Amino acid sequence: MKREPTLMEIYGEKPTAASPMTGLIERCNVAIAKPISKLNIEEICTFVRQGFYKEVIAPIAISKLEEKIEIGGDWDAELIQSIASSKEGYFSAEQIEKIRVIIGSYSREEVLARIAKEDGLEDAFSVVKTIEAEIENTRRKFGF
C-alpha cells in the first residue's frame, strides 16, 4: 500500500526552526508533516489564509466546502471566511467559479436545520448569523 505524501515531502521543506517559535509556526510545522488526508479543517484554513501550498490546499479547501459536513461547528464559517479573505490568485478562475456555485447553494434553512439538529436552537441562531455574514462577505469578494 502506497503511503500518502506530506506537504513537507511534496514541497521539499523542513519544519521551520524560528526563534521565537510562534503558535502559527508550531501549528504549520505539525501540519506539514501530516499525510495530506489527515489535515484538519483548521490547518487547511491556516494555509489558505497564509497563502501557502495553493496547488495542494486550494482543491482540498473547495472539496471541504463542498462536503458541508459538520456545518454546526465553527470551522465551516472559518472555512468560508478563510476563502473570502484569501490572497488574490490563491484560487484559480475555475476554482472561484466553483466556490460561487457552492456558496450560492447554502440556504439559511439548510444551515439552521443542520445546526439545530446537533446543537439546539438557541446556539443555532448565533452560528447561522456568523455563517450568513461570512457567506455574504464571500459573495461580495467574488462578485455575486
Question: Phi-psi category of 121—alpha, beta or left, where left has phi over 0 and alpha has psi -120 to 50?
Answer: alpha
Average pLDDT over residues 40-52: 94
Least confident of 24-38, 46-60, 79-93: 79-93
pLDDT band for position 28 (50/70/90)? very high
Residue 123 lies in a domain: yes
Domains of the chain: total: 1
Least confident of 6-15, 97-106, 110-119, 131-140: 110-119
Residue 5 lies in a domain: no
Q: Which residues of 69-78 are buried (b: 16+ CB within 10 A; e: fewer)?
A: eebbeebbbb
pLDDT computed for residue 141 by the predictor:
77
pLDDT band for position 126 (50/70/90)? low
Residue 103 lies in a domain: yes
Residue 9 lies in a domain: no
Residue 21 lies in a domain: no
Residue 122 has pLDDT above 60, yes or no: no
Q: Tell me the residue range of the domain where 94 lies.
A: 57-141
